[in-house]
Structure 1
Amino acid sequence: MNGTPSPEQLRDALRLMWRIRAMEERVGQLKRAGEVHGLIHLSVGQEGVAAAVCGQLRDDDAVYSGHRAHGHALAKGAPLPAVLAELMGRVDGLCKGLGGSMHLVDVEHGLLGATGVVGGNIPMALGSALAARMRGSDAVAVVFFGDGAVQAGQFNESINIATLWKLPVVFVCENNGFAEFSPRSSHTNVERVSDVVAPYELPRETVDGNELASVWTVFGRMLAAVRAGEGPALLECLTHRLRGHYEGDPDRYREAVSKAEWQEKDPILRLQRQGAADGWLAEGDPAELEAAARAEVDEAVEAARRSPFPDEALAASLVRPGGMS
């Protein structure tokens, strides 16, 4: 699937991006209404990376995400009703309502975990990559992380082991310029994450993460090489989150993005303009895709509301001897 995406692939990606956008905007509303629980981190504005990367993966490829995982979950194939039910703490959720936003898991579709520990997912991806090699499979592992995770010790340790053992793993950095509330310039002198890993001599590239076709093309090339046994690669995607670090964040630590500037950054609007110019998107198609996505989200929310909360005995069983811990 490497190479320039076809019009059909671009249209499917646009549909997926609208699903992610519609779901996350609704999650923000549900959080403010008290129907979604726990700390919530939205990826509004970063949908292009999830769609371009996961849109080229197989179910047996392992994906690990961090605290901003909703888009990755949907893009990897997790059912929308189950994702929303999990965020709403209902028993029909991916983890029976016990995991929540930062602990999404869908083994069936290869989403092997999200975590609130910054950079904590990176070594885990190496484990899946090594396991795939030991099984004789050409499956790969992909790990998503932000630029803040690059300052964690396990990042360099993992890059070192991955390159030393030529593990089939792709490191995907969603560099939105902020580690929580801190701009990159306040915690490192190295502007580009792709430069951080230069001494390890692995294939690495920085792309515009808001341009889906660019992410798709470069990741596809890396994926083919990694799957062929050529060792790890790193893709840095420069992107922008429209919301604060967490839902409810006053967001006073960065300059507001004007509506005109956001029109240029928004990966959905950019792809729609490209589709119109290239002829694979008709005039009324964007509105139809958005409406369909929002209707699907509405149905999933109602399904989640019908799902009961997990029984207290279920939660208690996880911390008893013999249960999970």
Structure 2
Amino acid sequence: MSQPATTSKVTSGGPEAYPVEELLGAYRRMSEIRAFEDRLHLENMTGDIPGFIHLYAGEEATAVGVCDNLRPTDVIVSTHRGHGHCLAKGCEIQPMMCEIFGKDEGLCRGKGGSMHIADLSVGMLGANGIVGGGPPLAIGAGLSAKTLRNGGVAVSFTGDGGSNQGLVFEAMNMAVVLQLPVVFVYENNGMGEATGAAFAVGSGDIAGRAAGFGLPATVVDGTDYFAVRDAAATAIERARSGGGPSVIEATSIRFYGHFEGDAGLYRTPEQLQEFKDSRDPLKIFRTRTADLIEASALDEIDEAATTEVDAAVAYARAAAWPAPTQVLTDVYASY
């Protein structure tokens, strides 16, 4: 039987609970995501990147806070805005950059690109161009883990726009019926493409919907790494120990448009600057750890992340394209 459905708000624990090296590692992953996305914002303007790009800057604390609770054998399913999830789960920067540039040394041999990037070796089952397409894949992975009794957990990341999709509701219902080790993470960045979540989410409460399926849910500040990590720790341990699925709604702001090229007319420059000043996950992390970590140490991490991303771009630009003979390889069936 499912547990009584409840919705709660999670406040953050303190950074004092974690070793300094662990804190530095968390900041490093967030800094790498920011550097990666900021550089792609510039690279996309050159016209050398095929396909659409949807940037994750501003939401780093959610991906890293969740994935820092996962084991290497656990899996995640992403969205079209997947670079941050990839890096948080352990994908390497250089093969990721090659993939986005469409090169043969990419994680998917240059055939997936930004919206379909995946790395099964680290449990990243893939970004997804289908809005709301991730949760059904997560319950498949959760069913596998339950059947094999390997203690695995599956996490799906879905945006506030995707949360309105019917297949998402079906996935939540099936997860409860089968009591699967799945955590549904809804990243509510306030905008489903150019439509405000306040308009598109009829109830105005994404997490509250979980009660209709018998799922417990928590709402957390998605810009606070420690709040996300605490909420995810509870949900993931519940799933791993046989307690069943649950929901986390993480609220944040994306710093860039829905996609690269989006004019962003639904937000004023003043609003966007206020978001960057007050809701930047990296700034919030720095403030919360100021008594434990010197700012200079975090500055060094930022510099190293920028250097690594710069090197990855240079490598990807020089890398080889897939050979024409590979056009029909890496598919499920040949006809």
Same fold (TM over 0.5): yes
CA distance in 2, matches of 1:265, 1:188: 22
TM-score, structure 1 normalization: 0.94
2:313 matched residue in structure 1: 301
1:204 matched residue in structure 2: 217
CA distance in 1, matches of 2:312, 2:275: 32
Cα deviation for residue 196 of structure 1 reads: 1.2
CA distance in 2, matches of 1:299, 1:188: 42
Q: Is 1:310–2:322 an aligned residue pair?
A: yes
Residues 136-285 of structure 1 aligned to structure 2 (within 5 Å)? 136-256=149-269, 257=271, 259-276=273-290, 279-285=291-297
Q: Is 1:52–2:65 an aligned residue pair?
A: yes
TM-score, structure 2 normalization: 0.91
| Runs of 4 or more consecutive aligned structure 1 residues displaced over 3 Å after TM superposition | 258-261, 316-321
Q: Is 1:292–2:301 an aligned residue pair?
A: no
Cα deviation for residue 75 of structure 1 reads: 0.7
C-alpha distance 312-260 of structure 1, shift in aligned 2 (>3 A): same
Contact 2:60/2:281, CA 8 A, preserved across alignment: yes
The residue identity in structure 2 corresponding to 1:123 is P
C-alpha distance 317-216 of structure 1, shift in aligned 2 (>3 A): closer
Cα deviation for residue 10 of structure 1 reads: 2.4
C-alpha distance 223-315 of structure 1, shift in aligned 2 (>3 A): same
2:51 matched residue in structure 1: 38
Cα deviation for residue 254 of structure 1 reads: 2.3
Contact 2:253/2:275, CA 8 A, preserved across alignment: no
- For residues 193-227 of structure 1, what are the alpha-carbon distances to aligned partners after superposition, in whole Å with 9 as ceiling and x for unaligned? 11111122222100000011000011111111110
CA distance in 2, matches of 1:253, 1:263: 19
The residue identity in structure 2 corresponding to 1:291 is E
CA distance in 2, matches of 1:233, 1:321: 36
| Residue range with higher mean Cα deviation, 196-205 or 253-262 | 253-262
CA distance in 2, matches of 1:122, 1:101: 19
2:26 is matched with which residue: 13, 33, 50?
13
1:121 matched residue in structure 2: 134
SS of the aligned residue for 1:173 comes to strand
CA distance in 1, matches of 2:94, 2:201: 40
Cα deviation for residue 247 of structure 1 reads: 0.7
Cα deviation for residue 185 of structure 1 reads: 2.5
Cα deviation for residue 319 of structure 1 reads: 6.8
CA distance in 2, matches of 1:121, 1:95: 18
Contact 2:255/2:272, CA 8 A, preserved across alignment: no
The residue identity in structure 2 corresponding to 1:282 is E
Contact 2:101/2:110, CA 8 A, preserved across alignment: yes
Cα deviation for residue 261 of structure 1 reads: 4.3
CA distance in 1, matches of 2:332, 2:250: 43
- For residues 100-145 of structure 1, what are the alpha-carbon distances to aligned partners after superposition, in whole Å with 9 as ceiling and x for unaligned? 0010110110001111100111101100000111111100000000
The residue identity in structure 1 corresponding to 2:288 is Q
Ranges in structure 1 where 5+ consecutive residues have no aligned partner: none
SS of the aligned residue for 1:234 comes to strand
C-alpha distance 220-312 of structure 1, shift in aligned 2 (>3 A): same
The residue identity in structure 2 corresponding to 1:274 is R
Q: How many residues align?
A: 319
C-alpha distance 93-261 of structure 1, shift in aligned 2 (>3 A): closer
CA distance in 2, matches of 1:120, 1:240: 22
CA distance in 2, matches of 1:61, 1:240: 27
Ranges in structure 2 where 5+ consecutive residues have no aligned partner: 1-12
| Residue range with higher mean Cα deviation, 4-13 or 249-258 | 4-13
2:8 matched residue in structure 1: none
CA distance in 2, matches of 1:20, 1:52: 13
Contact 2:210/2:216, CA 8 A, preserved across alignment: no
CA distance in 2, matches of 1:50, 1:177: 17
CA distance in 1, matches of 2:278, 2:111: 39
Contact 2:257/2:263, CA 8 A, preserved across alignment: yes
| Residue range with higher mean Cα deviation, 6-15 or 254-263 | 254-263
Cα deviation for residue 48 of structure 1 reads: 0.6
